[in-house]
Homo-oligomer: A and B are copies of this chain.
Amino acid sequence: MKNRLYFVSNHPKAQAHAFQAIENEQDKIGYYTLPDQDITPILEYADKIPQSVESIVIIGIGGSSLGAKAIYEFVKPVNDLKRTLYLFESTDPIDINTTLKQIDLDTTHFIVISKSGTTVETFAIYKYVYSLLPKISAYTFITDQGSPLDKYAQEVNANVLYVPQNVGGRFSVLSSVGLLPLVLCGIDVTSLLEGAKRIKESFFEQGYMQEPLLKKAVFYAKNHARYNINCIFAYSESLKYFCEWYVQLWGESLGKHQRHSAFHVGLTPIGLIGPKDQHSFLQLLTDGTRDKSITFIKIENFEEGMTIPDISLPHLESLDILNSISFDTLINMQCDSVIESLDHEGDIPIDSIMLPKVDAYTIGSLIYYYELLTSLVAELMDVNAYDQPGVENGKVILKKKLQKTKR
């Protein structure tokens, strides 16, 4: 994985400050150590799930589902996976029904994930599913040790795994939360963690990723008022759900009150997929307000070996320039053309990330890169990356409304 910045960011003091700050928080914040964890217990646990299980279903929402989904959807198209992953992540009854129709309860294992152990959506769905399949061995629970869900699981003799200490939901993909469902589907989580570890070492041990990460973080933070929107423009359909994971990580970590002021601050994440969104969002990037930074993501080698045939169509001879071009070349050329077309006025901060190929190692790298970037920007914006106080009020109001229905 390579990262090239097309803008200038030269603030050595701010860079040093940000680096120091996240180096210091490594013993307090759990996600930093996940690439170095011993995954033997997770692998051993996964081995106990019967071979007859064909479908893995996550019942979870937000940080409990987005990470596993991002990785699964990235590697699925190029792998013959052992099992199929489904997700219940909405209380939309049509969605629940549609997913239920796709699975066979007798050959499904459910992973119920709730860090707090009291997530409303998760338990609404769990109760519904449990009423259809009241067999506790068909469920694994993942939660914080000591949570109400942990106590429930103990009480009913169910299997329970824990979210490691001090790992927040949106930073939990490389813990049991993401790893267990992925292992059960047959995804190479060892490579996944190696990819993450490579970025970690390269950042903390002054490797090749330190400079772009620090320069980018400082630029984003210093220019947060002018460039308040940060787009990922990924030239790969497989990165669609990675973009959703990024949106949560970025939006929920950086949209905050500042620690030492009364200000609302935040950076707004947007995920785009190329070349599709050249025909949708690009016009706004090109001619719209200059309020967006863009990170282009390319795949160096799709490894599909598909080439546009050498066919000439009458009246469409102008398109013969496409003939005998591989799709790999075409899609990356499309990306380069858009970068060039945007870069000429210099007022849109652009960078590009080149991923070598579509595999678990690569997505592990990309995930850890974005986690580090998020932590750095949060520090520089004087916000706590790891809490989410703003969502509590809605939960309280919902509880009151639900209680009213009981009277």
- Tell whether, in the assembled complex, residue B66 and residue A94 are in contact, meaning their CB atoms are under 8 Å apart: no
Flag the segment in A34-42, A47-55, A386-394 that touches B: A386-394
| Least distance between A345 CB and chain B CB atoms (Å) | 10
List residues of chain B with CB within 8 A of the CB of A184: none
For A130, the closest partner residue in chain B by CB is B311
- Given known pairs A77-B98, A390-B287, the reply for A315 and B152 (CB within 8 Å) is yes
- Tell whether, in the assembled complex, residue A248 and residue B279 are in contact, meaning their CB atoms are under 8 Å apart: yes
- Tell whether, in the assembled complex, residue B152 and residue A279 are in contact, meaning their CB atoms are under 8 Å apart: no
- Tell whether, in the assembled complex, residue A268 and residue B292 are in contact, meaning their CB atoms are under 8 Å apart: yes
A29 within 8 A of B: no
- Tell whether, in the assembled complex, residue A94 and residue B275 are in contact, meaning their CB atoms are under 8 Å apart: no
- Given known pairs A94-B358, A331-B92, the reply for A321 and B403 (CB within 8 Å) is yes
List residues of chain B with CB within 8 A of the CB of A255: 283-289
A333 within 8 A of B: yes
Flag the segment in A3-11, A118-126, A361-369 that touches B: A118-126
- Tell whether, in the assembled complex, residue B268 and residue A390 are in contact, meaning their CB atoms are under 8 Å apart: no
Residue total for A at the interface (Cβ-Cβ under 8 A): 117
A351 within 8 A of B: no
- Given known pairs A61-B275, A336-B401, the reply for A94 and B282 (CB within 8 Å) is no
- Tell whether, in the assembled complex, residue B254 and residue A284 are in contact, meaning their CB atoms are under 8 Å apart: yes
List residues of chain B with CB within 8 A of the CB of A393: 286, 341
Identify 29 residue pairs between A and B in the complex whose beta-carbon atoms are under 8 Å apart, listed by A's number.
A77-B94, A77-B97, A90-B237, A90-B273, A93-B306, A93-B326, A94-B237, A123-B316, A127-B308, A131-B309, A229-B268, A244-B280, A252-B281, A255-B285, A255-B286, A264-B287, A264-B288, A264-B289, A264-B290, A266-B284, A270-B270, A282-B394, A283-B391, A286-B394, A287-B389, A325-B402, A333-B398, A337-B401, A338-B394
Give me 8 other A-B pairs in contact (C-beta within 8 A), A127-B311, A329-B405 excluded.
A62-B276, A78-B94, A90-B276, A127-B313, A128-B327, A282-B394, A283-B390, A286-B393
